[in-house]
Structure 1
C-alpha cells in the first residue's frame, strides 16, 4: 500500500480567497486518501464541497488558473482508484452536498437530479408517485450517488432486463475542464427545450457516461421514469454446476423475465445467511410487514422468510436468486413459471427464496460490512461478457484460482463469486476475494464505535497484496481474451490500451477538447495504477 503524503497548505490560501463561499477543508484527509481497495500515493490538498453548478464552474476556473487538478467523489464506495489523487496538487471535489431533485415531471416521465442525490433518496421520493427509474441503484444505494454511478457505470437493481445506470439516462449537464457548461440530449435545443429525449442526432450524452470524470463534472442528470411494478414474484435455485447456472441466467436475461437475477457461491451464501442472526431476522420480518403493499402480503412474506430462514443454507450449492415484476399477479406468475422451467432444465433445484425477498424489502443495507466478520479485507474484480461466453468466463476464472491455490492458501486468500444478468445480451462474473490485511480508513468510516471496538484488527499485509496483483492480472488477461468489458473503470481496468488505434486517437482528441489542461480526474480511463 502506498503511503499518502500531505501537501503544503500555502497554495490553498489563494483558492480560499478566490472562492470564499465554497466549503474547503483539510480535515480528515486520510479518509479521502482511500477507496474500498486502494490507498493513494498522495493525499488531496483539500476537500472542496460545491453546493450548486455555479460553484462548480467557479471551482474549475480557479483550478485551471492556480494549477490544481480535480478528482470527483460521490458516495466513495468504488474500488478502482477513480477519485484518488495522483499528484500533490489535487482537490477532491465532494459532490454529496448537491442533493436537489431539480424537476419531477410525471407527465413526460423524467426526473432531473443533482449529482449528490443517492439512489435511496430518489427511490423514497418516487415511491409516493408509483414511479421508478428503469435502473434504480446498487447495494450501496444508501450512500452511492446518481452522479457517481453514471460517471463510473453501475449495475444491479433493474439490470437483468433494463440495463445499467447509463441506459436510464436521458440527458446531462456537464461542466468541462474549460469551465464550460454542456447540455446533452433534447434539452440542448434553443427555445422551449425539455430533457425528455436522449437521441436527437449523435448521442452526446453517452460520451460522458462511464467517463469516470475524465471529461467533466456532471451537475445535473435526467433519468427516465417508468411505473413501479404492482406485483412481484421470487425464486431461488441451487446449482451444482455454476457454468450451467450461467447459462440459465443468460436465458432469463435473453427473455427479459427478471428485474434482478444474481448468483453467489456456496460459501458466500452460507456466510450471508449465518450472519443475519435471530434478531436481524426479526427486524427483517418487521420491516417486510411495515413496507409491504398490504398487511396480508407483508405477513405472507414475513412468514416465508422466518420459516425458511437460514435452515437450507448448509444444503445449497451455487445459489441463483431471481426477482420478477408484473403489472398484475398473472404477469408475475407467468414470468416466474418460465424462470422455474429454465432453471430446472439447467439442473437447478428450487430452494426457499429467502434471499431475494430480503433483498427486495431492504435493497440498500448499511455499509458496515466492508470487512468480513473476522476482520479480513475484501476485494472485487468483475467482467461482463456475452451470454454465450458466461460459462467459459466462470470456468477460466476458476482455473486461475486453481493454478494459484497453494500460493493463495499460504497467504490466507480465499474467494467467492457474485454472478449477474445484464439484459438480453450479457452476464457478469465478479470475484469476491478475502484476505487478512489492515483495514483502510474507509472501511472503518461506516462502522459504529461498538463495531470498531469488536473488530479483529489485522496487520498490514503487503505480501498478500502482491499475490493479489498477480492473481488479478491473470484473471484480467483471460477476461480480455473473452472480450469482457467493465464498469467502474477508474485506473483499475484496462480501457485505453485495449482500444483500437483509431478509437485511441478519438479519445485523446476528446480529452484535449474537453480538458485541455488535463485537470479532470487525471489518469482515469487512460492509465492503470502500478498496483492494479
Structure 2
C-alpha cells in the first residue's frame, strides 16, 4: 500500500477530524518538550477504540512505524521517531469515562482521559484513585501516564499509576486487541483483578508505548479520605531532608511527601503575584477544610505565610497527611513532627502543600517557567538505602558545572519524593531561557496564555551546556542502577539489563510487534 493509498483509507476510517496531514500539525506531533524528531507522515486522531483498531490495521498494511502519544507533555523523546516517515497516533479524542463501578470499586476509561477528568468525576461519589494524578493532570492522559510511570499525587502512600491499574485493552501493531488482567479470561465479566496467572498488565506499564497502544484502562478505586492535613519543615542540608523524607516514607505517614531545595522553593514562590489567582487559591484552601471555622483559619494562615517565609538555604519538606479520622491523622502528624525534630527539622508554615492540594492540577501554561524559560527534568528512583549515595554523586557532578551554569543563567533545582514505603525519587530540573519548541507554542495557544509570555531568543550554547550535563547525569543514574519513570528514548534500558532479562523483553517485543513497527527505539528496542 502506498502512502497516498494509506491516507485515503485512513480518511475513510477516521472522518474529517481524525486525520491531520498539514505540516504544522505533523511537526507538532513529531516533538515533545525536549526536542524534535523526524517528521511524521500523518497524525491519526481516533475518536474511539474501534477507530483506533481500524486505523492501526490500515497503517500495518502500509508497513509504517507507529508512535503513540497521550497528552504530549513529556521530555524524554518518548514518541519522537528520529527517522521520520512514521504515523503519530494522538489519543486525546478517546476521552470517555466508560464505567464507574462503586460496587466493584473500579473505573474504566479510554486512554485519552485526563487525570483531572477522573478526579472530578469521582469526587461527588466520595471516591478517588489511590494515585490520582500528576501536576500536569489537566492535560496528561491515563494512557500516557501508564506508559511513562506517572506519579505524584498520592504516590508517597499508594505508589504510581502502574499500581492502580487492574486491566488494560491494548491494540497491537497488527490491529489485534489484547485484554490483560481478568478480562483476558474468556468468560470473565468484570476487569477486577490482574494476577490470575502471570501479570500480563504489568508488561504494558512503563513500556513507553513500545509493546502496543493502550485503548482502555481499568483502575481500582478507594474511598476519599475523610480528613486531610498538611505539614512543612525546613532543614539546613539536603542530606538531613533526605533522611527525614525517607523515614517518613518508611513509616507510611503521608500521601504526598516531597522536598524542595532552596532554589526550587524560591521558584515555586517567585511567580508574579496574580491577585485573582491568589484569591481563587485562597478560596479553594478554605473550601477543602472540613468546617467553616477551620477553613477560615487555614486560609488566614496561608495568607499570613505569604511567599517569603523560606529562610535562605532552607531545604523544605512538605507533607499531605490523610486518613479516615481526625485522631488518625493527628497521630500521623505527631509521628512526622517527631521524625523531623530528631533529624534537625524546623516546622514551617504549611502554605506550599496546602496551596498545592487546593490547585492540584497546574495550569498547562506551566510548560514554561515564570521567566518564559524552558525547563527540563530528569529523574532516578533508588532504594532508601541508596538515596544519599545517588544524590551525593549527582550533586558533585552539578558542582563541577556550577560556574558554567551560573555564567549561562541556568538554574538547577531539585524535587525529592518517596514512592510508597520502599523507594526514593531524585529529580533535578533545569531552567534556562531559550527559544520554544512547537509543543510550547501549541500548549500556550490551547489555554489562551500566549500573550502572558514572551519567547526568549535562541540560546544554542546554553542549550548545549544543559544537554551535556543532562547526558552525564543520566550516565550517573545508570552507574547506580537507578530506575526512571519516563524512559522513552532518553534513559538506558535494554543496554543495562541482565542478559536473561533482556532476552525475555526481546521475546515479548517480537511476539507483540514482530516487525518492530510500534514506537521503534523506545526502551532501546
CA contact under 8 A between 1:171 and 1:186: conserved in structure 2? Answer: yes
Alignment of 1:97 onto 2:64: no
User: Equivalents in 1 of 2:427, 2:501: separation in Å?
Assistant: 27
User: Equivalents in 2 of 1:276, 1:334: separation in Å?
Assistant: 37
CA contact under 8 A between 2:11 and 2:19: conserved in structure 1? Answer: no
Partner of 1:265: 261
CA contact under 8 A between 1:250 and 1:387: conserved in structure 2? Answer: yes
**What per-residue deviation string (whole Å, max 9, x for no partner) do you get for residues 137-164 of structure 1?**
1000001111110111111011101110
CA contact under 8 A between 1:238 and 1:316: conserved in structure 2? Answer: no
- Write the mapping of 1:131-280 to structure 2, written as runs, cut at 5 A: 131-275=127-271, 277=273, 279=275, 280=277
Q: Deviation at 1:408?
A: 2.4
User: Equivalents in 2 of 1:61, 1:278: separation in Å?
Assistant: 50
Partner of 1:304: 301
Q: Deviation at 1:345?
A: 1.1
User: Equivalents in 2 of 1:102, 1:467: separation in Å?
Assistant: 46
User: Equivalents in 2 of 1:432, 1:20: separation in Å?
Assistant: 39
Alignment of 1:285 onto 2:282: yes
User: Equivalents in 1 of 2:14, 2:466: separation in Å?
Assistant: 45
CA contact under 8 A between 1:243 and 1:390: conserved in structure 2? Answer: no
User: Equivalents in 1 of 2:188, 2:432: separation in Å?
Assistant: 56
User: Equivalents in 1 of 2:309, 2:126: separation in Å?
Assistant: 35
Partner of 1:5: none
Q: Deviation at 1:292?
A: 4.2
CA contact under 8 A between 2:231 and 2:353: conserved in structure 1? Answer: yes
User: Equivalents in 1 of 2:145, 2:388: separation in Å?
Assistant: 28
CA contact under 8 A between 2:14 and 2:46: conserved in structure 1? Answer: no
Partner of 2:9: 15
Q: Deviation at 1:275?
A: 1.6
Q: Aligned with 1:347: secondary structure?
A: coil
**What per-residue deviation string (whole Å, max 9, x for no partner) do you get for residues 1-60 of structure 1?**
xxxxxxx974554433552537101243232232111122x2221211112221111111
User: Equivalents in 1 of 2:417, 2:11: separation in Å?
Assistant: 49
CA contact under 8 A between 2:245 and 2:417: conserved in structure 1? Answer: yes
- Write the mapping of 1:303-322 to structure 2, written as runs, cut at 5 A: 303-315=300-312, 317-322=314-319
Q: Aligned with 2:379: secondary structure?
A: strand
Alignment of 1:323 onto 2:320: yes
Q: Deviation at 1:276?
A: 5.6
Partner of 2:514: 516
User: Equivalents in 1 of 2:303, 2:159: separation in Å?
Assistant: 32
Partner of 1:362: 359
Q: Deviation at 1:444?
A: 2.5
**What per-residue deviation string (whole Å, max 9, x for no partner) do you get for residues 371-428 of structure 1?**
2222222111110110011122221111101112233233332211011011111111
Say what the alpha-carbon RMSD is for the aligned residues: 1.9
Partner of 1:3: none
Partner of 1:26: 21
User: Equivalents in 2 of 1:261, 1:495: separation in Å?
Assistant: 27
Partner of 1:501: 499
**What per-residue deviation string (whole Å, max 9, x for no partner) do you get for residues 58-103 of structure 1?**
1111111112221111111111111123333211111111112112
Partner of 1:468: 466
Q: TM-score, normalized by length of structure 2?
A: 0.95
**What per-residue deviation string (whole Å, max 9, x for no partner) do you get for residues 128-186 of structure 1?**
11111111010000011111101111110111011101001111111111321111111
Q: Aligned with 2:367: secondary structure?
A: coil
How has the CA–CA distance of structure 1 residues 147 and 270 changed in structure 2, closer, same or farther, with 3 Å as cutoff? same
Q: TM-score, normalized by length of structure 1?
A: 0.93
Q: Deviation at 1:291?
A: 4.6
Unpaired stretches in structure 2, ≥5 consecutive residues = none
The range that moved more, 476-485 or 107-116, is 476-485
Partner of 2:338: 341
Which of 44, 64, 67 is equivalent to 1:68? 64
CA contact under 8 A between 1:239 and 1:348: conserved in structure 2? Answer: yes
Partner of 1:422: 419
Q: Deviation at 1:316?
A: 5.9
Partner of 2:105: 109
Alignment of 1:492 onto 2:490: yes
CA contact under 8 A between 2:181 and 2:200: conserved in structure 1? Answer: yes
**What per-residue deviation string (whole Å, max 9, x for no partner) do you get for residues 304-330 of structure 1?**
211112131345601110001010100
**What per-residue deviation string (whole Å, max 9, x for no partner) do you get for residues 198-256 of structure 1?**
11110011011111111111111111111110001110011111112111111111111
CA contact under 8 A between 2:6 and 2:59: conserved in structure 1? Answer: no
How has the CA–CA distance of structure 1 residues 62 and 468 changed in structure 2, closer, same or farther, with 3 Å as cutoff? same
The range that moved more, 406-415 or 117-126, is 406-415
Q: Aligned with 1:154: secondary structure?
A: coil
User: Equivalents in 1 of 2:171, 2:64: separation in Å?
Assistant: 16
Q: Deviation at 1:271?
A: 2.4
CA contact under 8 A between 1:178 and 1:516: conserved in structure 2? Answer: no
Alignment of 1:396 onto 2:397: no
Partner of 1:530: none
Alignment of 1:457 onto 2:455: yes
User: Equivalents in 2 of 1:503, 1:290: separation in Å?
Assistant: 50
User: Equivalents in 2 of 1:35, 1:292: separation in Å?
Assistant: 38
CA contact under 8 A between 1:137 and 1:157: conserved in structure 2? Answer: yes
User: Equivalents in 2 of 1:232, 1:17: separation in Å?
Assistant: 50
**What per-residue deviation string (whole Å, max 9, x for no partner) do you get for residues 469-488 of structure 1?**
32122212222222210011
Partner of 1:526: 524
